[in-house]
Amino acid sequence: MREINYRTAVREAMVEEMMRDERVCLMGEEVGHYQGAYKVTEGMLEKFGERRVVDTPIAEFGFAGVGIGAAMVGLRPIVEFMTWNFSAVAFDQILNNAAKLYQMSGGQYRVPVVFRGPNGAARQVAAQHSHSMDPFYVNIPGLHVCAPSTPRDAKGLLKTAIRDDNPVIFLEGETLYAVKGEVPDEGVEELIPFGQARIAQEGTDVTLVAWGRPYHTAMQAAESLAKEGISCEVIDPRTLRPLDHRTVVESVKKTNRCVIVHEHWEHGGTGAQLVDLVQREAFDYLDAPVLRVHNQDVSMPYAVNLENTVLPTVERVVDAVKKTLYVAS
Amino acid sequence: MAKIIGLPKLSPTMDEGTIVKWVKKEGDAIDVDDLLAEVETDKATMEFRSFDKGVLLKILAEEGSALLPDAPVMIIGQKGDDISALIANAGAKPAAKAEAAPAQASAKSKANVAPESESESESESKSESESESESESESESDSAPAAKTAPKSAPAVGAAAQTRSDGRPLASPYVRKVARERGVELANMQGTGPHGRIIKRDLDGLAAPRGKKRSAASKETKVQKLSSMRRTIARRLTESKQTVPHFYLTIDIDADPIWHAREQINRALEVEGEKISVNDLIIKACALSLLKMPEVNASFAGDAIEYHGRVDISVAVAIPDGLVTPVVRDADEKDVREISREVRSLAGRAKEKKLKPEEMSNGTFSISNLGMFDIENFSAVINPPEGAILAVGTVREEPVVKNGLVVPGRRMRMTMSCDHRVVDGATGAKWLQLLRRYLEEPVTMFI
């Protein structure tokens, strides 16, 4: 297998699907002439032309609506948000149109649209541009939510998302775009199904669950803990809705302990949902309360030292794991 | 101005104190004489009250930490005071012989650790039992947990085991499940998790299925650090046995009269719902004997002997972690009912560790009674500076010779340990004659 970065993997998925299906098109701010704010869509305008790669005005509510409308009448649009922070402007389109029209039209209109872009904190973009938007979207029935952490998962899940007949929220990461990893060779097609977690590393003492950027934090923590003789099983759920909690529950039955690492705030979201499912379905297997490591409950500060305090760190994950093992940190 | 408050010396002999419980928490307003915390000293659990007025800004000593007097325990000041310099001053950790559970301590000292989601509600919802039954069937294959080893890292020292008020032992759900499967009682187990929670790594200590040999781990020697009370007991009794020349005198008395006297008194007291014990009568009899023979109510004082005018009788009371000797003051002047009430109150508070040090010091003679354990006879260690101690055995029902006939009777043995520097053999023997008379003719106590 070859190694490519996350950015290229996302682009390959879009290019392959646009070549395979002429109904697939791309729209968003700076996706065309500027080659993408994060160069994810580099070269796509040249390859597919202005009919299929459309630069939009800075008007998220408007172009999200255009994407939904186009999906309703037969296209399979990919709508890029420059970052997921700006999707807040288009929230009503996603909540009340994308997620509802199939039901509200009595099954007459499907909405096969993919909303994608970078999610979570980048570096020092402050309170309004550092949101992890996943808790807002995982709460909505009618949507799928993907949060791949590796290039391979990004490519395989995006291809599945584009072919899915339902609206998909596809959460990438500005600091993930440069992450490299193995991806099947060109010409080898891999579609990764929704609702299937990946066991990134097997272990015996504690189950670590993480997705997106914090997945890499969790992996580093697992590596550091391994040196102390603590064996972590690391699970990446990959899609947050549907959420493959069975894999997590089965793992906890083996390890008896669970720590969940996520970038969104504490109150609500996939982290809290997993705690609920684990305590319900693995109650008799828990040797310690399920712990979470997450963003501190404050708006993101600009200063880098404070930002590092707010985001989950390797040290905090290590501390939480030791707490579930009742060993001194 | 905020200031650091040190641990006060709560008794003259306190060389270490353990914060058992914080009554106030950070942010609470404090007034002069407010109860701040309960502190276990060598004598008892004492109240730590405030000399200051203000706001409790920071607690520096965790519950369970053993501290030297004057060790910083908290910061009091006004709301908004900058206390960072004071905290730095006090040191990141108090000058402690820390025995606090480190897992807990670290969670509290680091604000950025995952939230303490320890509100483990025991209420089991309907949805749980449903999903439980569905998941249970697939789970049996992986339940061979004892074979698995916990990670090698040093275990956190658990705080002292606590049984909850409802008597249910603290145990993780996983441990409960394994205990159910193996048919094991958790009630008497001590866990190493927070608050003594029984956790997976303690499973080695769980009794194996019946008939099997115990695991190697359960045969290991457990090392229990001395509590301040045990340290005091160790020091004082060693000192007594090494420096006081003990000798022992044993008598065997006819216990029928005292037995009947007690029954008669209790019948009379029945309407009032009160009861006295044989031991209460023995206290009274000893007090009267001591009044009559001050030679035994005496202490060795280096180059002199002190003959006490007062008759203050120390009564040994067993409590969970050791024993204490609360004192019945002026026992000669009190009637048996008063003595009985006082002993009950003292013993009750001793078990709750609520006795004040002055209630446990300055006795002139001691009584130790192991009759309730069916001990026939034993000899006790003198409680210095007292000159003697009486060890009382159980009342035995046995055949006795009365007027040339073998009849059913009751006997009781008691052994007096004497400090030979104060009491000689003949003196002690004479005193025991007096005591025998009071006990065998109880009515003489009421002359």
Please tell me whether residues A173 and A216 are part of one structural domain: no
- With contact defined as beta carbons under 8 Å apart, do B88 and B56 qualify? no
Instruction: Tell whether A253 is covered by a domain.
Output: yes
Q: How far apart are CA B249 and CA B426, in angstroms?
A: 10
pLDDT tens string A7-50: 999 999 999 999 999 999 999 999 999 999 999 999 999 999 99
CB contact under 8 A, A286 and B172: yes
For position A10, what pLDDT does the model report? 98
Low-confidence ranges of chain B (pLDDT < 50): 92-162, 207-211
Low-confidence ranges of chain A (pLDDT < 70): none
Instruction: Tell whether A148 is covered by a domain.
Output: yes
Among the partner residues B103, B135, B139, nearest to A323 by beta-carbon distance: B103
Instruction: Tell whether A85 is covered by a domain.
Output: yes
Instruction: Tell whether A191 is covered by a domain.
Output: no
Domains of chain B and any CATH numbers: 3-99 (2.40.50.100), 159-224 (no CATH), 228-446 (3.30.559.10)
Q: How far apart are CA A219 and CA A231, in angstroms?
A: 12
CB atoms within 10 A of CB B144: 8
- Give the DSSP H/E element, type plus range, for residue B107: helix B102-109
Instruction: Tell whether A166 is covered by a domain.
Output: yes
User: In this structure, what DSSP letter does residue B11 have?
Assistant: S
- With contact defined as beta carbons under 8 Å apart, do A76 and A22 qualify? no
For position B214, what pLDDT does the model report? 61
Q: Which chain A residues have a beta carbon less than 8 Å from that of B195?
A: none
CB contact under 8 A, A320 and B139: no
Domain count along chain A: 2
Catalytic residue among A30, A42, A129, A190: A129
Q: Which chain A residues have a beta carbon less than 8 Å from that of B203?
A: none
Among the partner residues A229, A280, A287, nearest to B153 by beta-carbon distance: A229
Please tell me whether residues A169 and A29 are part of one structural domain: yes
> In this complex, is the C-beta atom of A224 within 8 Å of any C-beta atom belonging to chain B?
no
Please tell me whether residues A168 and A279 are part of one structural domain: no
CB contact under 8 A, A316 and B174: no
Q: Which of B151, B193, B156, B149 is nearest to B173 (CA)?
A: B193
Q: What is the 3-state secondary structure (H, E, C) of A81-132?
A: CCCHHHHHHHHHHHHHHHCCHHHHCCCCCCCCCEEEEECCCCCCCCHHHCCC
Q: How far apart are CA B216 and CA B151, in angstroms?
A: 18
CB contact under 8 A, B156 and A327: yes
Instruction: Tell whether A47 is covered by a domain.
Output: yes
Q: Which chain B residues have a beta carbon less than 8 Å from that of A259?
A: 114
DSSP for B145-164, written as a single string = GGGSPPPSSPBPPPPPP---
The CATH number of the domain where A49 resides is what?
3.40.50.970
Q: How far apart are CA B386 and CA B399, in angstroms?
A: 37
Single residue among A183, A206, A241 that ends a domain in this structure: A183
Please tell me whether residues A170 and A204 are part of one structural domain: no
- With contact defined as beta carbons under 8 Å apart, do A26 and A67 qualify? no
DSSP for A64-80, written as a single string = HHHHHHHHHTT-EEEEE
For position B134, what pLDDT does the model report? 38
Please tell me whether residues A124 and A220 are part of one structural domain: no
CB contact under 8 A, A253 and B139: yes
Degrees (nearest 5) of the Cα angle B23, B122, B137?
Answer: 155
Among the partner residues B110, B115, B151, nearest to A327 by beta-carbon distance: B151
Please tell me whether residues A167 and A205 are part of one structural domain: no
CB contact under 8 A, B107 and A286: no
For residue B84, give every residue at least 6 positions away whose Cβ sits within 8 Å of its Cβ, in sequence order, or none: none
Single residue among A183, A218, A245 that ends a domain in this structure: A183
Q: How far apart are CA A209 and CA A147, in angstroms?
A: 13
User: In this structure, what DSSP letter does residue B170 have?
Assistant: P
Distance from the B110 Cα atom to the nearest Cα atom in chain A, whole angstroms: 9
Question: Can you state the percent helix, strand and coil of chain B, rounding each to 5?
Answer: 35, 25, 45
Q: Which chain B residues have a beta carbon less than 8 Å from that of A281?
A: 131-132, 135
**Which residues, numbered 160 to 189 in chain B, qualify as contacts with chain A under a Cβ-Cβ cut-off of 8 Å?**
172-177
DSSP for A249-317, written as a single string = HHHHHHHS-EEEE-SS-SSSSHHHHHHHHHHHHSGGG-SS--EEE---SSPPPSSHHHHHHHS--HHHH
Please tell me whether residues A269 and A231 are part of one structural domain: yes
Q: How far apart are CA B313 and CA B218, in angstroms?
A: 43
Instruction: For tokens 């078990």, name the residue.
Output: B351
> In this complex, is the C-beta atom of B130 within 8 Å of any C-beta atom belonging to chain A?
no
Instruction: Tell whether A189 is covered by a domain.
Output: no
Q: Which of A154, A174, A150, A163 is nearest to A81 (CA)?
A: A174
Among the partner residues A204, A230, A259, nearest to B153 by beta-carbon distance: A230
- Give the DSSP H/E element, type plus range, for residue A323: helix A314-325
For position B142, what pLDDT does the model report? 38
The residues pairing with A170 across neighbouring beta strands, listed in sequence order, are A116, A146
CB contact under 8 A, A292 and B115: yes
Please tell me whether residues A220 and A143 are part of one structural domain: no
Instruction: Tell whether A192 is covered by a domain.
Output: no
Bin A127: left if φ > 0, else alpha if -120 < ψ < 50, else beta. alpha
The ipTM assigned to this model is 0.76
The whole domain housing A278 covers 198-324
Q: Active site includes A60?
A: yes
CB pairs under 8 A between A and B: 117
Instruction: For tokens 């684990």, name the residue.
Output: A278
Helices and strands of chain B, counted as H and E runs:
9, 18
Q: Which chain B residues have a beta carbon less than 8 Å from that of A256?
A: 145, 172, 174, 200
The residues pairing with B40 across neighbouring beta strands, listed in sequence order, are B18, B45
> In this complex, is the C-beta atom of B117 within 8 Å of any C-beta atom belonging to chain A?
yes
> In this complex, is the C-beta atom of B146 within 8 Å of any C-beta atom belonging to chain A?
no
Reported pTM: 0.52
The CATH number of the domain where A219 resides is what?
3.40.50.920
Please tell me whether residues A218 and A88 are part of one structural domain: no
Q: How far apart are CA B193 and CA B202, in angstroms?
A: 9
